Structure 1
């Protein structure tokens, strides 16, 4: 059997952070399953999912925790193996509008009210000189409850888009 560890690291960007993570994993026989990493405002932020043999999980957690320093923060979570996940389908969402505070809060609140989970979220601001300001763009992968009809999700997001004065598009994921 294996144990899932999800590790988050955040600190000033510098060469070698990914190498430290992968070295600890390899030494303890863990498999690097999935990851997301980015440089945000000069800070390296990374998340990694490791699968490790049960008898080495504590040692890997200890080795990864040892990477913690005043400049590098490390958080380790063991995934909870549970029963069957609720039936969900995946939908892609794209949003674009004039940048202003509160867009993510309003969008995430509307989705949460409908039981929709945000599995992936990417946002950025780009210059829109012709429009007289900055544009805020969102790309998200949503996990939508099977019990929520597409038409109801679409109506709710269209109403929100009108309130927020943004454009929202929903699309299929092609398997995910």
Structure 2
């Protein structure tokens, strides 16, 4: 039987962590289905969806202390279901991009608007970069979401335009034809 498990990793950043993690899984016959990782401040964070035989997954979970010792990372484990077994309502995939001078609350305002319309966020990434010309801290956000058929695009545009106008955020979103 095939099992699916999500692992999250967090700890001090150093070179080679992604290699050590992937080698650990590969050596035990575990497939990495999907992963995301990045450095946040001085910390490394990664989340991985894996699959493998139930026996191989159970052996890997029992052996995680060796990976913790090698890497110095905190590791959390959560069993899940196959991605194809996730209940998904009919929807249209969209990508939202937001840009603004950085300040607290931008993510919250956009997420609140999406949630208020019953929209599920599938993937979100945010960043703040310093613009070397102006010296401003510029916030950027990329968000992929699933738009249910009951949500009128014009209503969502109105919500997001209001937030953009009120908080001076450039917010754009478009249907994603191909990922």
Which bin holds the TM-score, normalised by the shorter protein? 0.7 to 0.9
Alpha-carbon distance in structure 1 between the residues aligned to 2:149 and 2:61? 36
Alpha-carbon distance in structure 2 between the residues aligned to 1:66 and 1:146? 48
Q: What is the correspondence of 1:9-158 to structure 2 with a 5 Å cutoff? A: 9-64=9-64, 66-69=66-69, 71-80=72-81, 84-128=87-131, 133-158=136-161
Match of 1:68, SS state, is: helix
Instruction: Give TM-score scaled by structure 2 length.
Output: 0.85
Alignment partner for residue 162 of structure 1, among 161, 165, 173? 165
Match of 2:151, SS state, is: coil
* Residues 24, 63 of structure 1: 8 Å contact kept: no
Structure 1: runs of 5 or more not aligned: none
Shift of 1:78: 1.1
Alpha-carbon distance in structure 2 between the residues aligned to 1:130 and 1:33? 40
Instruction: Give TM-score scaled by structure 1 length.
Output: 0.87
Shift of 1:93: 0.5
Range with bigger deviation, 166-175 or 64-73: 64-73
Provide the aligned C-alpha RMSD in A.
2.3
Q: Deviations over 1:67-123 (max 9, x none)?
A: 235941101111135564222221110111121111111111111111112222222
Alpha-carbon distance in structure 2 between the residues aligned to 1:78 and 1:29? 17
Count of residues in correspondence between the two structures = 176
Structure 2: runs of 5 or more not aligned: none
* Residues 21, 64 of structure 1: 8 Å contact kept: no
Alpha-carbon distance in structure 1 between the residues aligned to 2:127 and 2:86? 36
* Residues 34, 49 of structure 1: 8 Å contact kept: yes
